[in-house]
Amino acid sequence: MYSINAHAKVNIFLKITGYKDGYHTLISRFVKVPDLYDTIKFVPCDCETFTIEGCDNVPLESNTIYKAFTALNDFTGDLDILNFFYKHKVVVTKRIPSQAGLGGGSSDAAAFMRLVKETCKLLISTDDLADIGSKVGADVPFFIYDYDSANVAGFGELVMPFEEPPLSLDIFTPDIGCNTAEVYKTFNTYLLRNVDLTSFFGWDKMDSRTLLTLIGDPVALNDLFPAAMAICPELEKAKKEGWFFSGSGSSFFRLKEA
């Protein structure tokens, strides 16, 4: 049995930089959450087709792990992958909540791809794996590289490791699901015109603790927060003083008190 942990992330800041070819560009600081993760296992099983357990509420064609499986097959044409999954099923133990801005689906896809590379001994570079992952989801390359902290830019394909002391974080996820596509659509309709590229100049060079302490405003740090509140008004009641908003939501985080 083969196993890997798929960690959550938070966005220390997330700023939209433009809109091109139907997609938003951004710059963001992604930080891995070491104590919140899903677990992906490859369990021996005679399978007639690619089989995933533990994601019962997600149709197979929409599952990021299945998309990663398809993308890997399309890129490599390696029959060892197909043969392996006739003899193994994928079992997912979910701990990262869905539609929470923590990257659970993308992390699952990336962890799956990294484990397939190892188990099937694929002769493929990490950069190529990240490029394949970018076709699955914008956040997948960050999780492929498995950095503790990184600046992520462009459509999510530019991932630059950022050296900084590890953060200890509290995470609070209200029982609210934020649809990422709807959040971005709302931002594009009402807020894209207000983008000011000078307002976050130099943030990519500041460590995360300093950013959270110096800026201190969840709306200033995350351009998607107002859009998320517009489509999920319950977030207004859920937010707490001193907490910050991750990704397209709905999770909040803060630095743990010493």
| Per-residue confidence band for 258, with pLDDT thresholds at 50, 70 and 90 | low
| Annotated active-site residue in 32, 108, 117, 139 | 139
- Sign of the alpha-carbon dihedral angle for 228, 234, 238, 241: positive
Q: How far apart are CA 85 and CA 212, in angstroms?
A: 44
Name the active-site residue from 9, 32, 67, 117: 9
User: In the chain, pLDDT over 70 holds for what percent of residues?
Assistant: 100
Work out the average pLDDT over 44-63: 93
pLDDT on residue 257: 76
The DSSP 8-state label assigned to residue 165 in this structure reads P
The mean predicted confidence, pLDDT, of the chain is 96
Look at residue 1 and tell me whether its pLDDT is greater than 80. no
Q: Where are the domains of the chain?
A: 2-161, 169-255
Nearest to 140 by CA among 157, 161, 160, 118: 157
> Does the active-site annotation cover 148?
no
CB atoms under 10 Å from CB of 210, counted, come to 11
Distance CA 29, CA 9 (A): 10
Mean pLDDT on 180-198:
95
Q: What is the pLDDT of residues 167-179, one digit of tens each?
A: 999 999 999 999 9
Would you state the CATH architecture of domain 2-161? 2-Layer Sandwich (3.30)
Place 254 in a pLDDT band, splitting at 50, 70 and 90: very high
Say what the pLDDT of residue 56 is.
Answer: 82
Active site includes 89? no
Contacts of 190 (CB under 8 A, 6+ apart): 227, 230
**From the DSSP assignment, how many helices (H) and strands (E) are in the chain?**
10, 9
pLDDT band at 21 (very low <50, low <70, confident <90, very high): confident
Q: Write out pLDDT tens, residues 24-43.
A: 999 999 999 999 999 999 99
Strand ranges, E, within the chain:
2-20, 23-44, 52-53, 88-93, 149-154, 158-161, 169-172, 244-245, 252-255
